[in-house]
Amino acid sequence: MTDISRKSLNQWLAKLESLHPTEIELGLDRVSVVYKRLLSHQLAGKVITVAGTNGKGSTVKLIEAFLLAEGWAVGAYTSPHFLHYNERVVVNGQPVSEGSLVEAFEQIEVVRGNISLTYFEFGTLAAFYLFAKNNLDVVILEVGLGGRLDAVNVAEPDYSVVTSIALDHEDWLGADLEQIGLEKAGIFRPNRPAVCGADVPASVIDHANEIGASLYQYGSDFIDGLSPASWSWRGGVKGDHSTELVSLQYARLPQNSVNLALQCCSLLGLKLTTESVNSVIADCKLPGRTQVLSSKPLLVADVAHNPQAASYLATCLKNKSLPGGISFTGKVIAVVGMLTDKDNKGVFQCLADVIDSWCLAGLSVPRGQTALSLSAHLEREDIDYQCSDSVADALHQAKLLAEPEDCVLVFGSFYTVAALYEALGFQQLEESLRG
């Protein structure tokens, strides 16, 4: 082998960034060829693929947590990462080692020949290689962009999940919800379960029916019943709703994701009980999803970067209550950094009535927006805001404004939350990832 075997993980990642002429190139032709060369057997006993505009990461995390609690061997692939690339590839609850990723990259380099791969395609194949080596019962794969033409879709799923559909990545996926929904429904397979969350457009349902997928819809095939103190759930195999749970606790993650995870696990044959479900959701949390990092004032991190996710945040903030029963009584101070290709105006409109002060932060990353350009999306003249060059500086300003009873919300992008973690120190991130 050549000197590629001596590259560190960071050197490999730098190499991957320069291999392909574009950051994104949707399509399965190139990656399919390398996939077949790389693996001679299937990824795992069962494969679950998760697509959707919002809620993918939460759904993956919950399914993983339920399966691990029952002693299953599980792999999970998600993206992007916050600070460490290893966060993307998890085996039995632990990020894989740098050495194993380097080994995977070396193998891909050997078999790809002259086929050019994007950074995401290379990383996806590395995850597949490592999952196949570990003899797992289940792997759970989060789609990176869209579904039909995403590199993850070269793996044949036994179960497919579409969490939600909203406007995002319109340049790649289409200009309306029906087009975007059809792209994400491209992960469905004939005669295999296709599980859909609340309020997906008709194109998703129609595609499932057209190809003969076994469709499971929220509201008909599985459903929840909500009350202030607890909630109930009913679902399972079509025509036999044998799983019925009552007196469930509310999770720290979105209710739609919990519903989808329960339905997937029920189809997998898990014997779910109120006790087992409550035990898992009491401890299950995910970095950057209404994640509480400290109190007095409450410091909350969220990767919300489109209007649908912002609307979910707005509902929580209006009620001054976060998932998991965490509440506050004071005002809301927002630290926000966003990318230029997101619907910043739509996000700000969703949150305008629940945020009292804005600390706008510039993002020094590709497509990062300056604080001054963000301020153009604050439409009312009486809005209290200030601009900073970085998330760290904006956080400092927010803390000066905050009283102990207030909530400081840091949101707008994975980059924003990653910058928050860096400002707080690496130890806090490591603790949150372990949780």
Range 263-288 average pLDDT = 94
Range with the lowest mean pLDDT among 24-28, 307-311, 408-412?
A: 24-28
If one compares 39 and 26, the residue with the highest pLDDT of the two is 39
Q: How far is CA 344 from CA 369, 380, 411, in A?
A: 10, 15, 12
Residue 26's pLDDT is 75
Residue 6's pLDDT is 62
Range 81-102 average pLDDT = 95
Give percent above pLDDT 70 in the chain: 93
If one compares 407 and 2, the residue with the highest pLDDT of the two is 407
If one compares 70 and 429, the residue with the highest pLDDT of the two is 70
CB-based contact 215:208 (threshold 8 Å): yes
Residue 171's pLDDT is 66
Range 335-346 average pLDDT = 93
Range 79-89 average pLDDT = 93
Residue 83's pLDDT is 87
Q: Which of 237, 165, 167 is nearest to 198 (CA)?
A: 165
Range 43-63 average pLDDT = 95
Residue 27's pLDDT is 80
Residue 243's pLDDT is 87
Residue 2's pLDDT is 41
- Kindly report, residue by residue over 241-250, the tens digit of the pLDDT: 578 999 999 9
CB-based contact 95:87 (threshold 8 Å): yes
Identify any residues that bridge with 196 across adjacent strands, giving them in sequence order: 162, 217
d(Cα 202, Cα 57) in Å, to the nearest integer?
24
Using the predicted structure, report yes or no on whether residue 327 has a pLDDT greater than 50.
yes
Give percent above pLDDT 90 in the chain: 79
What six digits make up the tokens of 270?
């898990």
Q: How far is CA 423 from CA 74, 284, 426, 428, in A?
A: 32, 24, 8, 10
Residue 336's pLDDT is 97
If one compares 35 and 377, the residue with the highest pLDDT of the two is 35
Residue 427's pLDDT is 54
Using the predicted structure, report yes or no on whether residue 52 has a pLDDT greater than 70.
yes
Using the predicted structure, report yes or no on whether residue 435 has a pLDDT greater than 90.
no
CB-based contact 200:181 (threshold 8 Å): yes
The pLDDT-based confidence of 18 (bands split at 50, 70, 90) is confident
- Kindly report, residue by residue over 344-403, the tens digit of the pLDDT: 999 999 999 999 999 999 999 988 999 999 998 887 667 889 999 999 999 999 999 999
For the chain, give the mean pLDDT.
91
If one compares 169 and 182, the residue with the highest pLDDT of the two is 182
